[in-house]
């Protein structure tokens, strides 16, 4: 017959296991995973979330005339039958820079869709937003008078449930911070979009 102490220990162990299982269902920041999702996965994700169907869109266009070459540093597929071949996924000094350059250009072009913006679109042809993304992006054009609801919708469009709620709250707090709030929309909005696009939950493997 088990002693009361043993029974209590087993009960505590089972309770602990239950807590761990519950935690496993929660979003986890994948920063420690340290592998990029790959060019094809990120490009397809951005296309599905933001770009109108049948529009032309290539991330490497944000890298200028050498984009086709530079984008190979982040594993851009090259050739038939390699669309899902993830190469150069381990972060290093070069591919981190290339990712940032591409996503910074895309963030600029999201902000450039705001009416009255003086930003010049970097990609050619200019991006065309789909019906889901257009009102979400447009809501931030009222900068700096943007609501938590509008900011939350923008975050959810980029990342959704993939990141912990604390990350969403921190990004909204960043948007309301004195630094960004003091800047005009053409300066603040590209930085804001970039902050979401560079989040590990979007850019790294889950």
Express each pLDDT in 46-92 by its tens digit: 999 999 998 999 888 898 887 777 767 677 766 555 455 556 667 77
Give the pLDDT of residue 125: 85
Give the pLDDT of residue 6: 38
Burial of residue 24 (number of CB atoms within 10 Å: 0-12, 13-18, 19+): exposed
Q: How many residues does the chain have?
A: 206
As a whole number of angstroms, the distance between CA 84 and CA 6 comes to 52
Asked, for residue 160, whether it belongs to a domain, the answer is yes
As a whole number of angstroms, the distance between CA 49 and CA 64 comes to 23
* Residue with the larger pLDDT of the pair 29 and 165: 165
Q: Which domain holds residue 171?
A: 4-35+48-54+103-203
Asked, for residue 185, whether it belongs to a domain, the answer is yes
Q: Is the pTM of this model over 0.85?
A: no
DSSP code of 1? Answer: -
Does the structure show a pLDDT above 50 at 7?
Answer: no
Asked, for residue 187, whether it belongs to a domain, the answer is yes
Asked, for residue 66, whether it belongs to a domain, the answer is no
Asked, for residue 14, whether it belongs to a domain, the answer is yes
């Amino acid at each position: 017959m088990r002693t009361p102490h043993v029974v209590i220990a087993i009960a505590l162990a089972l309770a602990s296991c239950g807590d761990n299982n519950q935690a496993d269902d929660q979003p986890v920041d994948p920063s420690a995973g340290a592998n990029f999702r790959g060019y094809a996965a990120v490009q397809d994700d951005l296309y599905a979330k933001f770009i109108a169907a049948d529009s032309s869109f290539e991330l490497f266009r944000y890298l200028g005339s050498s984009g086709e070459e530079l984008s190979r540093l982040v594993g851009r597929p090259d050739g038939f039958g390699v669309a899902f071949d993830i190469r150069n996924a381990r972060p290093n000094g070069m591919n981190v820079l290339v990712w940032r350059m591409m996503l910074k250009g895309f963030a600029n072009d999201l902000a450039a869709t705001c009416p009255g913006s003086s930003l010049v679109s970097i990609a050619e042809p200019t991006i065309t937003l789909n019906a889901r993304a257009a009102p979400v992006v447009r809501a931030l054009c009222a900068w700096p008078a943007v609501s938590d609801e509008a900011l939350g919708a923008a975050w959810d469009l980029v990342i959704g449930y993939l990141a912990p709620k604390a990350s969403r709250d921190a990004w909204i707090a960043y948007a309301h911070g004195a630094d960004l709030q003091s800047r005009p929309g053409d300066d603040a909005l590209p930085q804001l979009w970039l902050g979401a696009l560079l989040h590990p939950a979007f850019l790294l493997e889950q």
